[in-house]
Amino acid sequence: MKKTMILISMSTIFFFLQLNTIQAKSVLTNDRSLFTYEINNLQFSHDKLNITGWGLLQNTAHFNGQSDHQYSLTLDSGDHQVKINLKKKRKNLNRLIHYRGYKRCLDHSSNRKSCNYDFTHVGFEGVIPLNSLKTNRHYKVFLTLSSKKMKTNYQTSIFYPNDRQVTKSVYDKTYTLKELSKTKTVIVVTHDTDNLERFDKVVQL
């Protein structure tokens, strides 16, 4: 009798270990009607690049808590990748994204188009350390929204339009935000020897 109880306990532990290995699927999309987002600010500050914005998935699930979704950035140059976790901010877009005449969706519903979901925690902010990027690279920037309800990681390339070119020089490196297309913005990192020479002269003085 004692051996049987031990076997059942071991079987239960093994079962829970198996559950923890389940991976969420990933979806890459540029469909703004599905993954709706806006980059409010992308600005250099000393040796960092600050980013703020918001993002949500329409007609999928409620976004009204701190634990039901997560935001992150991925910077990919092809041979080098950097991932930055973003901090969630309370931002309420219920009035903006609301279908008049529809009722509120039930708390545990998903993938409904005939009701309104809550979008009260859809803001994000974060910092990209510039020293984490390598020189002579073009980094494509992707925003990822991980939804626990949908068990899916939705990823989209970000677009941040600028009236003028945004550039930051730090020692011997120059960082430039450049529009690659009407759907993509890249971070271009170049080696700037002239800037390093100017910095050396200042240090010597």
Q: How far apart are CA 88 and CA 167, in angstroms?
A: 27
For 95-132, what is each residue's pLDDT tens digit?
988 888 999 999 989 999 899 999 999 999 999 999 99
| pLDDT (average), residues 37-46 | 92
Q: How far apart are CA 193 and CA 179, in angstroms?
A: 25
The CA distances from residue 61 to 94, 109, 120, 202, in Å, are 13, 7, 12, 56
Structural tokens at position 114: 């005939």
pLDDT value, residue 16: 38
Q: For residue 5, is pLDDT > 50?
A: no
pLDDT value, residue 22: 36
pLDDT value, residue 181: 82
For 173-205, what is each residue's pLDDT tens digit?
999 999 888 788 999 999 876 654 443 333 333
Q: Give the other-Cβ count within 10 Å of 180's Cβ.
A: 14
- β-strands 152-157, 166-170: how paired? unpaired
pLDDT value, residue 194: 63
pLDDT value, residue 200: 39
Does the pTM surpass 0.85? The reply is no
Q: How far apart are CA 29 and CA 42, in angstroms?
A: 21
Q: Binning pLDDT at 50, 70 and 90, where does residue 158 land?
A: very high
Residue labelled with tokens 């634990």: 67
- The mean pLDDT value of the chain amounts to 83
Nearest to 37 by CA among 77, 79, 78, 91: 91
